[in-house]
Amino acid sequence: MDQVKKITYFDNNATTRVAPEVLEAMLPYWRDLWGNPSAAYRFGNQLAKDIEKARERVAALLNADPREIVFTSCGTESNNSAIQSALALNPAKRHIVSTSVEHSSVINHCDYLESTGVSVTYLPVEADGSLDLHMLEQSIRPDTAIVSIMWANNETGVLFPIEEISAICQSKGVLLHTDAVQVAGKVPIDVKALGVDFLALSAHKLYAPKGIGALYIKRRARFQPYIIGGGQEKGRRAGTENVAQMVGFGRAAELALANLKEEETRVRQLRDRMETSILATIPSTFRNGARDARLCNTSNIAFDGAEAEGILLLLDRAGICASSGSACSTGSLEPSHVLTAMGFDSTRAKASIRLSLGIYNTDADVDYLLHHLPEIVARLRGVSPDSPVRIPVSV
Ligand SMILES: *Cc1c(COP(=O)(O)O)cnc(C)c1O
């Protein structure tokens, strides 16, 4: 792998840079403090208190009790284990309610569960990516083991009204899991007010490293571990603790909580300036997803008559990182399942790119993108930037 020179990064929903403060916090644990936290001697077991400190910090980001936080290996594991636990503890309940726009870690897991005899209702979405809550209410059955609905969509940034979803699930007496991976650090989270049963987080979407996540499990809720082995995480998730990364996650959560308001405002301004300018200056462009009920950092835009693949390639040549849909589906020629679920045909889905900003983006980054993008789109459309005629060409 070449050393990365200068990149302009607009793919923060795929992963984020590790914050220097987070790296700093982890270094002692990589270098010197490498003991096993379950050991009988202090070199190991003194680390248990650092893990607990990290747990408190992650809990604080959610307004949770630290005892409600279980560290996992990633957001995917958190999502998988919440659903698996609900099924394992309710053997008579063989139905799941989810949506057609979930992250692959929910949707592909549910597809797999269907192959084992579980039935799944995938709620459809409207053209703006929103959910029909009446349909949610109607889809819950006596044999529904769990409802699993994401809080914010990773491709469009569209926010679901999790408070109302939670109220519906509570009134029906059914468990609710929410994938909040994209929400952490962008929207205030208060699990006590929400009343969700499970909530998934991933550290690498929050300026901490890949390979560490957390699952919030409501206090006194029954939980069946997914990874079975040693008694780590109070018997809820086996495997020797990833101390350095837990500490890093804790530091990232602390920073996110402290800077949330300020960053939300700043990133939203950058995103809005970028999006408004693209929609105004490049003809035949459309925003995918609701304008308002949306994360502060995400913009998903269709460029009629140009292919996302070509746009991304030419952006990459200019050192700009963006994506089409989710990182997991790039490389496959399938149109995004999220945009398809919103009712867009595959041409529009394949003409759409996602630009997701983060706390390290600057006005200069946006200016740089705005300088290159119109030219790139015009080139792919086979016209000069000012011409209204569009003839798509491939790169
Ligand atoms: C990235 C992401 C995940 C998966 O998290 P990993 O830690 O990469 O497994 C799950 N859900 C959403 C919405 C995501 O954006």
The pTM assigned to this predicted structure is 0.95
156 lines ligand 1 (CB under 6 A): no
What is the predicted pLDDT for the residue at 395? 45
pLDDT band per the 50, 70, 90 thresholds, residue 384 = low
Nearest CA among 320, 324, 306 for reference residue 369: 320
The CATH label, of 3.90.1150.10, 3.40.50.1820, 3.10.129.10, 3.30.2130.10, for the domain at 8-15+260-383 is: 3.90.1150.10
Per-residue pLDDT reduced to its tens digit, 295-315 = 999 999 999 999 999 999 999
Lookup: tokens for 287: 């925003």
76 lines ligand 1 (CB under 6 A): yes
183 lines ligand 1 (CB under 6 A): no
Contacts of 112 (CB under 8 A, 6+ apart): none
Residues recognised as catalytic: 328
- Report the SS3 class of residue 75: helix
Domain 20-256 has CATH 3.40.640.10: yes
Where do runs of H (alpha helix) occur along 90-209? Answer: 104-115, 133-139, 162-172, 191-194
pLDDT band per the 50, 70, 90 thresholds, residue 5 = confident
Nearest CA among 352, 288, 331 for reference residue 153: 288
What is the C-alpha radius of gyration for the chain, rounded to an integer number of angstroms? 22
The answer to whether the Cα torsion of 48, 54, 57, 58 is positive or negative is negative
What is the predicted pLDDT for the residue at 328? 47
Phi/psi for 169 (5° steps) reads -65, -40
**Relative to the CA of 15, which ligand 1 atom is closest?**
1
Take atom 3 of ligand 1 and give the residue whose Cα is closest.
Answer: 75
What is the predicted pLDDT for the residue at 334? 84
75 lines ligand 1 (CB under 6 A): yes
Per-residue pLDDT reduced to its tens digit, 234-283 = 999 999 999 999 999 999 999 999 999 999 999 999 999 999 999 999 99
268: alpha, beta or left, given left = phi > 0 and alpha = psi -120 to 50? alpha
What is the predicted pLDDT for the residue at 315? 98
Per-residue pLDDT reduced to its tens digit, 349-364 = 999 999 999 999 999 9
What is the predicted pLDDT for the residue at 378? 97
205 lines ligand 1 (CB under 6 A): yes
| Count of other CB atoms within 10 angstroms of residue 297 | 25
Mean per-residue pLDDT for 105-120? 98
154 lines ligand 1 (CB under 6 A): yes
Locate the domains of the chain by residue range. 8-15+260-383, 20-256
Take atom 6 of ligand 1 and give the residue whose Cα is closest.
Answer: 75
Per-residue pLDDT reduced to its tens digit, 155-191 = 999 999 999 999 999 999 999 999 999 999 999 999 9
**Relative to the CA of 327, which ligand 1 atom is closest?**
1
| Count of other CB atoms within 10 angstroms of residue 338 | 30
What is the predicted pLDDT for the residue at 148? 98
**Relative to the CA of 203, which ligand 1 atom is closest?**
7
Take atom 15 of ligand 1 and give the residue whose Cα is closest.
Answer: 154
Find the 202 Cα to ligand 1 centroid distance in Å. Answer: 6
Lookup: tokens for 174: 């059914």
pLDDT at 31 over 80: yes
* Higher-confidence position of 5 and 76: 76
Take atom 5 of ligand 1 and give the residue whose Cα is closest.
Answer: 75
Take atom 1 of ligand 1 and give the residue whose Cα is closest.
Answer: 14
Find the 81 Cα to ligand 1 centroid distance in Å. Answer: 14
